[in-house]
Every structure is written in structure tokens, then in C-alpha cells.
Structure 1
């Protein structure tokens, strides 16, 4: 029986991350009391790690009502809204959850996606956001990060966090030591091939009919990933929502994924399946994905 907390321990060091079925979570730290439709998970990052989640979607922005350097003590954001009210969930606290886990479970590798959301007042011509992430967060714990620009084999990244960088960096020298470059893909895409990675992130759910379309897009990309002989990372978001329609909030879309049978297309090599409310039904979909690796 697989120990989901340390499931990567059973895999060969030469295994590429692109060859696996990996459970991930969308807006991973959005598990707190927040505005309606902002919450996306029912359990903490630490609990997700213990149950085998190995891809985390973290979106951050400046703290509201603060200025200057104080505002750069970044908080976790979903769109324009904080994931926790009345007090912010800080990035440094989320990263501590990763650090504590990886120090205690050196057989594991965790992909951490970091994206800028919230206010748009960053001077990105001068890499202000990137420099903030590097100087305040990554550089101080550099030994716990895999920061090369490639997708590693497990043996090269055990006991480390792989940075899946969803923000641009203009400094060419820094790019080479600042993680895997996933800075952009087409918004609301059903499939966008960026060379080294492929994304399905159809997120604009207008009505209930769009949910069945979303289920199909997830299945289609999972099947394509299994058949691919290319060394590409397939990132397949099951998430989507419409703030103005309760039937299309994250919980309802997550339920539709389960009822729509996405589990039927899970197989080794299906890539990263990024889920909302991953703890549902005793972590059913996370376990199903991990099991396919054996």
C-alpha cells in the first residue's frame, strides 16, 4: 500500500517529473474564511502535503492598506481578493509549511507555482516583483529550492521545492537561476503548448453548461499527455468559476469534475491535474492520481 505522505520515495531517481501523474491544487492556500467564491480548498497546505499533493498554485500580492516595503510582506490573493479575512495569509507563512515538510521528508519533491495577483502597481520593467520574491523569500532559503531552468529528474530534486515561475524576469542572467519559466500562457485556454509545457486553463465558466465543456477539456488533455513522447510538462486545471452564479462557484465545479468521471482518464504520465477541494471524499482524486504511478 502506498504511503501517500512519502509516495515519491518508491520511485526511481531517474524518473522525470514529466513522466508522472501528479495531484495539484488550484489557489492552494485559499482554505480560510474569505469572501464567497474565493475559497478553493478545505484543508491547509500542510494537510495537502501529507496527503500527497505535489503541485501548489500560490498567488500573491501586496498587503492592502500598507505602503512601501511593508506592503511587500506579501499576502496570498485570489484574483483581487485576500484568501483570508479579516487577517491576511502571508506568503512567508505558507512557505514555512513547505520548508517544514520538505526538511522532514527528503524523498519528496514539491512544485511551487508563484504568480503575482492583486494590485498592478509593480514596476516590472525593473523586475520589481521578481526581485521581491528573490530577495525576501527565495534567496534566504536557496538550499531548499531547485532553481535551474529545466524540469529535473526526481534524484536531482528530492528534498527541494521546484520553482514553477509564473512571472516574467527581464534580467537574462537571473532567468537562468530563477526556476522553470512558466511566465505566461493564453488566458482561458483549452490547450496552449508553450514548448516545454502545455496548459489547459479554461476558467471562465459562464453557466452550468460550460462545466460539462470544462470536464471534457480536462479529459482531453490528460489523454493527450499520456500519449505524448515529448519531454513536456502537462498542467491541467480542473478549476473554473463565475462569481455571479452560485452554481458555478469552485465547490460546484469541483463536484462536477468528480461526477463527470475525470478519474477515468488518470494514468501514469497524465501530467499535473490541478484540483479544487482536493480533500473531498477522503482525498479520492489525489489518491487515484498517485496510485497510477505504480
Structure 2
């Protein structure tokens, strides 16, 4: 793949690929323009006013961000790009699924270990933020699979990671303005915590639906309909949330998952059948949009081209 010049993006397929690309093959320095605003996907937040709330942005994200491995094709892999490549391609929301094992976190998709640990994810984020201090990363952390051989809680293990770089984490319970979190990881917490505040509280997450989370500090609206029997119905749920996000006043954080799977033969999930269709619809939709805030869009098989279409609506 070739690096594009100004206004032309690197394209990578939204379909599942067998091989990984080298770290520097994903758009790292090419600029794009929209309404006379120039930006690079590596630091697109540098062109956003610091007074803007994260709730007022269109933010590319990834679902099951560390899921690059699967024993059976189409059943567990959700991304072609590594964490570092995702960030360089404009992604600013990571969905991190951690199995609690041996008092540490291993990255899983269901029962499948992804040959990646939480420290690897965190280190990739910190390296990116050190190189691009105008950016922030929203990180959703959820416990995955069965815990094993631990002497402390999931929260206590996370605390050990947080203490290693406390200045790099935003643990407030409210949705911050960009000025509060440049150079930081914003925690979105999908696990229970004894000590709070510990990130934006999303523990009231519902299964396979569109729902609201309302706490004293933050309000969220989430579409996470991941069991997809009908792609058209999934897309309708997504476009309804896009419309609500664009019309919303500042404050409520919208998270609109583009991911899902179709139950296959013997109940084996098929991820690609959903991703290929929904990602194509996303490209068409955002290619036709003008300035507006559409919320966080976690995708399967994210790429720089689709990320750019989302990012450009911020300008």
C-alpha cells in the first residue's frame, strides 16, 4: 500500500485479510482537507478547539480492538490493524476486553486469547500519545471470559496498571472537554468498582439493544445490537442514533457500534457477513455528510479511509 499525498487517503480493505501490514504502512503523515481545515489522522484532534466536549465530536473507534487472531476464519478476528496502526489511522476509541488471569490482564475475544496483554495495549497508547500530545484515547475496559488464579479483584489489578502512569489517565466520571484530556487515556468503565470515581461509569450496559445510561456525572446513549439477523435492521438502528447524536445538545455521549455477527452453521458466529455490508454503508453515509457530531463509531476491520470520512465531519 502506498502513502497518499495531501487530500488522498490510504485505502485498506474492510474485509478480513490473512496478513498483517507493517506498522508504518498505515497513514501516518498524509493530510486531508475539508472546508479549508487541514489535518493528519495521526493528530486530527489538534485541529479541534480545546473547549469542545468529547460528546460533541465524531470519533472513529474499534470494537474488540485487540482481536486479530482466530482459530476458525470469520469467528473471532475483528481487526486487521494492530493497536498502534489503528491509532495512526485516526481511531480514538478502543474497546479492550481483558481476561483476569494470574493477577494480570490478557486480551481475549471470548475464550480466545489474542496473543496480547493489557500492558501491550497500554504501551502502544502511551507511545502514540507521547508522539501526538494533542490527542486523547477513550478506552472502554470490560472483563472478558473466566477469571483464573487471582488473589485480587479485577479492579485491584487495573489499579496496579493505573499507578504506573497516573498522569496519563483521566479517571473522572464526567464526559470531559478536550482541554482536560489531551495526551491522556480516558477510561470508560464497564466493570464494577469499589472506589469511585474511576472513569465514566458504563456498568449499566445492556445486552444487544439500544439503551441509555444515566448517572449523576454522565449520560450515555448506546447502540450495541450485535446479534444481527438482518443487516438492514442493524443499519436502521445505527442511522437513528446518528440522527439523535447530530441533533443533541452538548453533554450526552453517543456510542454507536457498527459491529455484529450472524449466527452461522452449528451456531458459529460469522463476523465478516455483517462487517462487509455495514462498513460499506458507513463509507457511503459519511461520504455524504457535512459538518456535525455523530458520536463514537466502533467498527470491525477499521481502516484509514473510513476513519477519515468520520473525522472530516468535525470540521
Q: Which bin holds the TM-score, normalised by the shorter protein?
A: 0.7 to 0.9
In the TM superposition, residue 138 of structure 1 has moved relative to its aligned partner by: 1.1
Residue 157 of structure 1 is aligned with which of 146, 170, 181? 181
- Is the 2:53–2:250 contact (alpha carbons within 8 Å) kept by the matching residues of 1? no
In 1, Cα distance between the equivalents of 2:54 and 2:157?
A: 28
In the TM superposition, residue 285 of structure 1 has moved relative to its aligned partner by: 1.7
Which digits, 9 at most, give the CA deviation of each residue in 1:18-59, with x for residues without a partner? Answer: 000000000011123544311000010101101110000000
- Is the 2:283–2:309 contact (alpha carbons within 8 Å) kept by the matching residues of 1? no
Runs (5+) with no aligned partner, structure 1: 64-70
- 1:145 partnered with 2:166: no
SS, match of residue 51 in structure 2: coil
Give 1 or 2: higher strand fraction: 2
Residue 77 of structure 2 is aligned with which of 39, 43, 50? 39
Which digits, 9 at most, give the CA deviation of each residue in 1:123-167, with x for residues without a partner? Answer: 9xx9811111112x1121111111111111111100000001111
- 1:194 partnered with 2:219: no
Which digits, 9 at most, give the CA deviation of each residue in 1:93-148, with x for residues without a partner? Answer: 1111001111111100110111001105699xx9811111112x112111111111
Q: How does 1:137-286 map to 2 (within 5 A)?
A: 137-169=161-193, 171=194, 174-176=195-197, 178-189=198-209, 191-195=210-214, 196-205=219-228, 207=229, 210-242=230-262, 244-245=264-265, 249-261=270-282, 263-264=284-285, 268-279=292-303, 283-286=304-307
TM-score by length of 1: 0.85
Alpha carbons of 1:261 and 1:275: their partners in 2 closer, same or farther (altered >3 Å)?
closer
- 1:52 partnered with 2:83: no
In 1, Cα distance between the equivalents of 2:207 and 2:152?
A: 22
- 1:7 partnered with 2:44: yes
- Is the 2:282–2:306 contact (alpha carbons within 8 Å) kept by the matching residues of 1? no
Give 1 or 2: higher helix fraction: 1
Stretches of 4+ aligned residues off by more than 6 angstroms? none
TM-score by length of 2: 0.80
How many residues are matched? Answer: 269
Q: How does 1:40-189 map to 2 (within 5 A)?
A: 40-63=78-101, 71-83=102-114, 88-119=115-146, 128-135=153-160, 137-169=161-193, 171=194, 174-176=195-197, 178-189=198-209
- Is the 2:104–2:157 contact (alpha carbons within 8 Å) kept by the matching residues of 1? no
- Is the 1:108–1:158 contact (alpha carbons within 8 Å) kept by the matching residues of 2? yes
- Is the 1:14–1:154 contact (alpha carbons within 8 Å) kept by the matching residues of 2? yes
Alpha carbons of 1:15 and 1:141: their partners in 2 closer, same or farther (altered >3 Å)?
same
Alpha carbons of 1:72 and 1:243: their partners in 2 closer, same or farther (altered >3 Å)?
farther
* CA RMSD between the two structures: 2.2
- Is the 1:53–1:286 contact (alpha carbons within 8 Å) kept by the matching residues of 2? yes
